[in-house]
Structure 1
Amino acid sequence: MKNNIKHLLLGVCLLTLPSLVQAHGDENHDAAAPDVAVGNSPQRLPNGSVLLPKPSQRQLAIRTILAEKKDSPQTAELSGKVIADPNASGRVQPTLSGRLEAGPKGLPSLGQKVQKGELLAYVKPATNPIDRSNQSAQASELRANKAVAEKRLARLQLLEGTIPQKDIESARYELQSLTERLSTVGASLFSTESLFAPASGAIASVNVVPGQVVDAREVLFEIVDTSKLRIEALAYDSQLVSNIASANASTNAGNAICLEFIGAGGLLREQAIPIQFKIKPSDKPTFLSVGQPVKVLVQTNTKIKGIPIPALAVVKNSSNQDIVWVHGEPENFIAKVVHFVALDGANVTVTDGLKDGDRIVVQGASLLNQVR
């Protein structure tokens, strides 16, 4: 009985086996597993480099140059500011205290162009009542003395030939003196001081309104010719003054300005030597204002060896280190930590971290640095 049951179960298994095998007959078990698709987008690799496909490189406008070591002038960085050229600027100050009155064209406004000698305003001197009454009394006394002198001169002229000529001349001179004194006193009673532009340029500051009472020597207007500005910097190294080859300046916005050395002062200011530069005629910047801070880069006659690159090629990594991106493989960029010194307002010299032949990213480095 037991043997019959075993034979029955074995037969059932043999009958169902072909159907199970047939259920998997259409599948190819020898085929390899499909690859994981990789996106065509920039990405930061585990080793810190950046994978940037060619389409992305063109989209980000990546540009590179070959590194080449050269002798560059050693550069010193100074803090400076924009000042006015003393030969093309001026201040308008009254010599007397009084009330301000507008000129024939009204008071000048900020930015208005004026010419040297142009009338800007009047100042009517302020006098107290006692002084004014004394001047009026003096003028009345002079008028009376003048009338007496005129009559005396007329009588003497009628007696000409019978009296000495010196008496007639003395009377004439006395009348002339009284006339001039009366004219001077009368003018002081109603005189006004005219304020003229001391230089040609633009009105840089206006500190008055019509009717304002101003003091003597108070600065009412400042005039600056913005096409003739200068740069002043402070040097704490006395040897730098005699070793200047050329100079450049740059603003906070990154605008570069070519400078020409004028001279250095012989009197220390804030324990430093003041140095002045003038802007070269080839550069006529319209973005400078008097008092604006600038960074002055002075190139000396001393040479240093390094790789000059644009300043925009240097960026910061997550550790706040200065890095430069080097184009290694066709779609791979490597960040290298560098040390550099400023060369001018737009370029730097890398002294450590790069070698000849490295292809350095000089355009689009900031965008490449943002790839995560």
Structure 2
Amino acid sequence: MKSTYTKILTVTILLTATSMVLAGGNHAENNATNEQTTSVVRPYRLSDGSVIIPKQTQRQLNIRTTRSVYGDYPKTVELAGKIIPDPNYGGKVQSMIAGRITPPPNGFPTPGESVHKGQLLAYITPDVGPKGMRSLAESRLKRLQALSDTVPRKTLEEAQAAVANEELRASVDGIISTTGIVSGQVVDARQTIFEITNADRFMVEAIAYDTFLLDNIQSANITEGDRQIPLKLLGTARNLREQALPITFVASEGGALPLAIGQAVRIFVQTKQTQQGYQVPASALVKDSANQSIIWVKESPIKYLARTVTILPLDGTSVVVNGLENGDIVVSQSASLVNQIR
């Protein structure tokens, strides 16, 4: 009886020990699983240069992707240029005589103020010589007006012009771009008093050093922020200016451009020749530690690989690259944030 009791007790102890061991093993497995899950909560870079980014982090970084497609695209040349006024829709207001400038009843127009053609902008009182000469000219005019029936009309008009104020009026519709006068200021003949521009009629002047472009332009555009502004070719000058040929464009869509006269711009000219490659957004390009251009390609839902590429310009917002494969999913937004993961 005693030996039977001893055997039962021994078996009970063994079963209890086995249960504890199994429970400990399951707990260890759970810890390992939790540690593995925790390890992908934050993004990190692998030894081969690829990065692991969990889905939650991808949403936080606002990562967007696009699929690359191989094709033929126009060969593009990037030119430096600037915004210039359209001479047909802008103008200058200059003084024909020397004198003292005075404002009209509504005051001088200010920069940015809209004016219409023929609007009175200022008066100029002519300079008739030393002090007292104007009063003599006015007295002479009064005498001639009293004898208007016997005095030649030409003489009377000359006397009136000698004391009359010159009216400065707007030559075109537009806005005042520059003015540098104050009431009472003495101005010279042919001095520019106001400059008027039309915000809807700007032109773009590019400088080309390659005569190959003159007869090989298919289209062109400039970029302002995320907006593309298509341009229409007006013509190319055949006279060199600082060893370059000026090319003139105008916005093909019309309307006011979000640009200022004299502002420097980059002009992307698409030629009639083509180039092959993958079109991707310019925002997809980043630099690696060796200062090479790379693009991040999505290999799996959370894994991204860096591809070294060569770049060709296209239209300012996108580029043509070589070094990808057809169908690659590239990071088009937040690529710089992916590139910073270590």
TM-score normalised to structure 2 length: 0.84
* Deviations 1:240-292, CA, capped at 9 Å, x for gaps: 010000001124x45421111110112111111100110022x6355211111
Change (3 A) 1:349 1:196: same
Please say if residues 144 and 156 of structure 2, whose CA atoms lie closer than 8 Å, have aligned partners that are also in contact.
no
Offset, 1:28: 3.9
Runs of 4+ in structure 1 deviating by more than 6 angstroms, as ranges, are none
Q: 2:206 aligns with which of 210, 217, 233?
A: 233
Offset, 1:344: 0.5
Which residue of the partner structure matches residue 267 of structure 1?
Answer: 239
Please say if residues 139 and 185 of structure 1, whose CA atoms lie closer than 8 Å, have aligned partners that are also in contact.
no
Which residue of the partner structure matches residue 213 of structure 1?
Answer: 186
Question: Structure 2, unaligned stretches of length 5 or more?
Answer: 1-13
Rg larger in structure: 1
Find the aligned partners of 2:175 and 2:154 in 1 and give their Cα distance.
41
Find the aligned partners of 1:76 and 1:120 in 2 and give their Cα distance.
45
Find the aligned partners of 1:349 and 1:218 in 2 and give their Cα distance.
51
Change (3 A) 1:137 1:361: closer
Find the aligned partners of 1:135 and 1:265 in 2 and give their Cα distance.
55
Q: 1:224 aligns with which of 197, 201, 204?
A: 197
Which residue of the partner structure matches residue 159 of structure 1?
Answer: none
SS at the partner of 1:242? coil
Find the aligned partners of 2:259 and 2:137 in 1 and give their Cα distance.
53
1:309 correspondence with 2:310: no
Offset, 1:134: 11
* Deviations 1:75-105, CA, capped at 9 Å, x for gaps: 0000011111111111111111111111121
Offset, 1:194: 0.8
Counterpart amino acid of residue 371 in structure 1: I
Find the aligned partners of 1:206 and 1:318 in 2 and give their Cα distance.
51
Change (3 A) 1:133 1:230: closer
Which residue of the partner structure matches residue 349 of structure 1?
Answer: 320
| Structure-to-structure mapping, 1:1-372, within 5 angstroms | 28=21, 31=25, 35=32, 36-37=35-36, 38-129=39-130, 132=133, 136=137, 139=140, 143=144, 175=150, 178-251=151-224, 253=225, 255-281=227-253, 284-350=255-321, 352-372=322-342
Offset, 1:309: 1.0
Offset, 1:107: 0.1
Percent identity between the aligned chains?
38
Find the aligned partners of 1:143 and 1:112 in 2 and give their Cα distance.
42
Please say if residues 128 and 134 of structure 2, whose CA atoms lie closer than 8 Å, have aligned partners that are also in contact.
no
Q: Give RMSD over aligned pairs.
A: 3.0
Counterpart amino acid of residue 118 in structure 2: G
Please say if residues 325 and 336 of structure 1, whose CA atoms lie closer than 8 Å, have aligned partners that are also in contact.
yes
SS at the partner of 1:299? strand
Please say if residues 101 and 124 of structure 1, whose CA atoms lie closer than 8 Å, have aligned partners that are also in contact.
yes
* Deviations 1:127-173, CA, capped at 9 Å, x for gaps: 22289389749948x859x96x97xxxxxxxxxxxxxxxxxxxxxxx
SS at the partner of 2:88? helix
SS at the partner of 2:215? helix
Change (3 A) 1:102 1:137: closer
Find the aligned partners of 2:301 and 2:134 in 1 and give their Cα distance.
95
Offset, 1:64: 1.9
Which residue of the partner structure matches residue 11 of structure 2?
Answer: none
Find the aligned partners of 1:96 and 1:319 in 2 and give their Cα distance.
66
Find the aligned partners of 2:138 and 2:57 in 1 and give their Cα distance.
93
Which residue of the partner structure matches residue 160 of structure 1?
Answer: none
Offset, 1:362: 1.3
Find the aligned partners of 1:268 and 1:73 in 2 and give their Cα distance.
27
Counterpart amino acid of residue 275 in structure 1: I
Please say if residues 135 and 185 of structure 1, whose CA atoms lie closer than 8 Å, have aligned partners that are also in contact.
no
Find the aligned partners of 1:321 and 1:212 in 2 and give their Cα distance.
60
68-77 or 47-56, larger mean C-alpha shift: 47-56
Which residue of the partner structure matches residue 7 of structure 2?
Answer: none
SS at the partner of 1:333? strand
Find the aligned partners of 1:55 and 1:138 in 2 and give their Cα distance.
91
SS at the partner of 2:234? strand
Change (3 A) 1:287 1:307: same
Find the aligned partners of 2:144 and 2:113 in 1 and give their Cα distance.
46
